Amino acid sequence: MENERTILRSESMTIKLKYGYFIEVDEKNFTLKSKYISKKNNKETTRTHGYYSNIDNALHNYIKLATLDVNSGAVIELQDLLIKIKVVCDETVKTIKSQFKKE
Protein backbone atom coordinates (compact mmCIF):
# COMPACT_ATOMS: atom_id res chain seq x y z
CA MET A 1 0.00 0.00 0.00
CA GLU A 2 2.81 2.44 0.83
CA ASN A 3 4.42 1.80 -2.58
CA GLU A 4 1.14 2.68 -4.30
CA ARG A 5 0.98 6.00 -2.43
CA THR A 6 4.58 6.79 -3.36
CA ILE A 7 3.86 6.07 -7.01
CA LEU A 8 0.73 8.19 -7.02
CA ARG A 9 2.49 11.12 -5.37
CA SER A 10 5.31 11.09 -7.90
CA GLU A 11 2.99 11.26 -10.91
CA SER A 12 2.36 14.61 -12.50
CA MET A 13 -0.25 16.05 -14.81
CA THR A 14 0.20 18.47 -17.68
CA ILE A 15 -2.41 21.07 -18.58
CA LYS A 16 -1.96 22.18 -22.19
CA LEU A 17 -2.68 25.83 -22.88
CA LYS A 18 -2.56 27.94 -26.06
CA TYR A 19 0.46 29.50 -27.77
CA GLY A 20 2.89 26.75 -26.72
CA TYR A 21 2.31 27.19 -22.98
CA PHE A 22 1.53 24.41 -20.52
CA ILE A 23 1.34 23.86 -16.77
CA GLU A 24 2.95 20.85 -15.14
CA VAL A 25 1.20 19.88 -11.91
CA ASP A 26 2.81 17.81 -9.19
CA GLU A 27 2.17 17.48 -5.47
CA LYS A 28 4.15 20.64 -4.63
CA ASN A 29 3.91 23.05 -7.57
CA PHE A 30 2.11 24.32 -10.60
CA THR A 31 4.96 25.00 -13.05
CA LEU A 32 4.27 27.30 -15.99
CA LYS A 33 6.37 26.45 -19.04
CA SER A 34 6.42 27.11 -22.77
CA LYS A 35 7.97 25.53 -25.82
CA TYR A 36 9.88 27.61 -28.30
CA ILE A 37 12.44 27.23 -31.08
CA SER A 38 15.96 28.07 -29.91
CA LYS A 39 17.76 30.68 -32.00
CA LYS A 40 21.12 29.02 -31.23
CA ASN A 41 20.49 25.55 -32.60
CA ASN A 42 16.99 25.83 -34.16
CA LYS A 43 15.65 23.07 -31.86
CA GLU A 44 12.51 23.01 -29.76
CA THR A 45 13.31 23.95 -26.17
CA THR A 46 11.29 24.35 -22.99
CA ARG A 47 11.39 27.53 -20.92
CA THR A 48 10.22 27.61 -17.29
CA HIS A 49 8.36 30.82 -16.43
CA GLY A 50 7.72 30.11 -12.76
CA TYR A 51 6.73 27.79 -9.94
CA TYR A 52 3.43 28.52 -8.20
CA SER A 53 1.72 27.16 -5.11
CA ASN A 54 -1.71 27.39 -6.74
CA ILE A 55 -3.18 27.28 -10.23
CA ASP A 56 -4.66 30.79 -9.95
CA ASN A 57 -1.21 32.38 -9.84
CA ALA A 58 0.09 30.18 -12.67
CA LEU A 59 -2.87 31.11 -14.88
CA HIS A 60 -2.53 34.80 -13.99
CA ASN A 61 1.07 34.81 -15.23
CA TYR A 62 0.12 32.74 -18.30
CA ILE A 63 -2.54 35.29 -19.27
CA LYS A 64 -0.02 38.11 -18.90
CA LEU A 65 2.65 36.32 -20.94
CA ALA A 66 0.28 35.01 -23.61
CA THR A 67 -1.23 38.46 -24.08
CA LEU A 68 2.24 39.93 -24.54
CA ASP A 69 3.21 37.16 -26.99
CA VAL A 70 0.07 37.58 -29.08
CA ASN A 71 0.54 41.35 -29.26
CA SER A 72 4.34 41.41 -29.54
CA GLY A 73 5.50 44.60 -31.21
CA ALA A 74 1.99 45.94 -31.69
CA VAL A 75 0.61 49.32 -30.70
CA ILE A 76 -3.00 48.82 -29.66
CA GLU A 77 -5.75 50.69 -27.86
CA LEU A 78 -6.50 49.76 -24.24
CA GLN A 79 -10.00 48.58 -25.17
CA ASP A 80 -8.57 46.23 -27.82
CA LEU A 81 -6.06 44.90 -25.29
CA LEU A 82 -8.83 44.18 -22.77
CA ILE A 83 -10.80 42.31 -25.43
CA LYS A 84 -7.74 40.22 -26.29
CA ILE A 85 -7.12 39.47 -22.61
CA LYS A 86 -10.73 38.30 -22.26
CA VAL A 87 -10.30 36.05 -25.32
CA VAL A 88 -7.14 34.50 -23.84
CA CYS A 89 -8.97 33.95 -20.52
CA ASP A 90 -11.97 32.35 -22.24
CA GLU A 91 -9.73 30.08 -24.35
CA THR A 92 -7.81 29.05 -21.23
CA VAL A 93 -10.98 28.07 -19.37
CA LYS A 94 -12.25 26.07 -22.38
CA THR A 95 -8.91 24.29 -22.78
CA ILE A 96 -8.72 23.31 -19.12
CA LYS A 97 -12.35 22.15 -19.02
CA SER A 98 -11.89 20.01 -22.14
CA GLN A 99 -8.85 18.29 -20.63
CA PHE A 100 -10.75 17.37 -17.47
CA LYS A 101 -13.65 15.98 -19.51
CA LYS A 102 -11.25 13.53 -21.23
CA GLU A 103 -10.24 11.94 -17.92
Distances in Å between the Cα of 79 and the Cα atoms of 22, 34, 76, 85, 102 are: 27, 27, 8, 10, 35
pLDDT digits (tens, 9 = 90+) for 12-40: 889 998 889 999 999 889 999 999 888 88
Of the pLDDT bands very low, low, confident and very high (cuts 50, 70, 90), residue 2 is very low
Displacement of CA 85 from its chain's centroid (Å): 15
Every domain of the chain and the residues it spans: 13-102
Helix (H, G, I), strand (E, B) or coil at 83: helix
* Pairing state between β 44-52 and 30-37: antiparallel
Instruction: Report the candidate in 32, 81, 80 with the shortest Cα–Cα distance to residue 53.
Output: 32
pLDDT of residue 102 exceeding 70, the answer is no
- How confident is the model over 46-101, as pLDDT tens digits? 999 999 999 889 988 998 888 777 666 666 677 777 788 888 888 888 888 777 76
Name the DSSP letter for residue 74: -
**pTM here?**
0.64
